[in-house]
Amino acid sequence: MAFSRDRDFLFCGFCGNMLTLSSVKYATCPLCSYKRSTKEIAGKEIKYQVTSQDIRRELGISTFGEGTLQLATISRKCEKCGNDEFEYTRKQMRSADEGQTTFYTCTKCRDTITEN
Ligand SMILES: [Zn+2]
Ligand SMILES: [Zn+2]
């Protein structure tokens, strides 16, 4: 995933160090204390839109990182093969509007059910 490359604008304009999001309002450079408002960052990047959710995720407020899949199994009856075990995975969608999607995959026939 080219996620980090999409965020080159999150690097310090003076020393090139990666900016740290210190709050939802500012990203700061840990080396030279260069400060950039996240509003400015959001406005600068056209291809990649920074949403408040992205910033919260960066700050570790959201428990799921970008592209993180959590794998667990749950008991759920498969309508296709009658199996009663599903793999349960969650994916955080990139867009704030899409939120989190849960995938249930039958461990036997691999039939997948998605739920938002
Ligand atoms: Zn700097
Ligand atoms: Zn099945």
Tens-place pLDDT, residues 1-51: 344 444 556 788 788 888 887 777 888 888 898 888 877 766 554 444 566
- Structure confidence at residue 70 (pLDDT): 56
Q: Is 15 part of any known ligand binding site?
A: yes
Percent residues over pLDDT 90 in the chain: 19
Residue by residue, DSSP assigns the chain as --TTGGGGGGB-TTT-PBPEE-SSSEEE-TTT--EEEHHHHHHH-SSS---HHHHHHHTT-SSS-TT----EEEE---TTT---EEEEEEEE-SSTTT-EEEEEEETTT--EEEE-
Report which residue type is found at 50. Answer: V
Percent of the chain with pLDDT over 70: 59
Contact 83, 89 (CB under 8 A): no
- Name the residue with tokens 């990666």: 18
Encoded tokens for 72: 């667990």
When comparing pLDDT for 101 and 99, which is higher?
101
What pLDDT was estimated at residue 82? 96
Domain ranges for the chain: 5-58, 72-115
- Ligand 2 center from residue 86 Cα (angstroms): 8
For residue 78, the model assigns a pLDDT of 95
The ligand placed nearest to the CA atom of residue 35 is: 1
Ligand whose nearest atom lies closest to the CA of 108: 2
Determine the distance separating the centroid of ligand 2 and the alpha carbon of 112, expressed in angstroms: 9
Is 109 marked as binding a ligand? yes
Q: What is the pLDDT of residue 5?
A: 44
User: Hey, which CATH number is domain 72-115, 1.10.287.610, 2.20.25.10, 2.60.120.560, 1.10.760.10?
Assistant: 2.20.25.10
pLDDT (0 to 100) of residue 47:
45
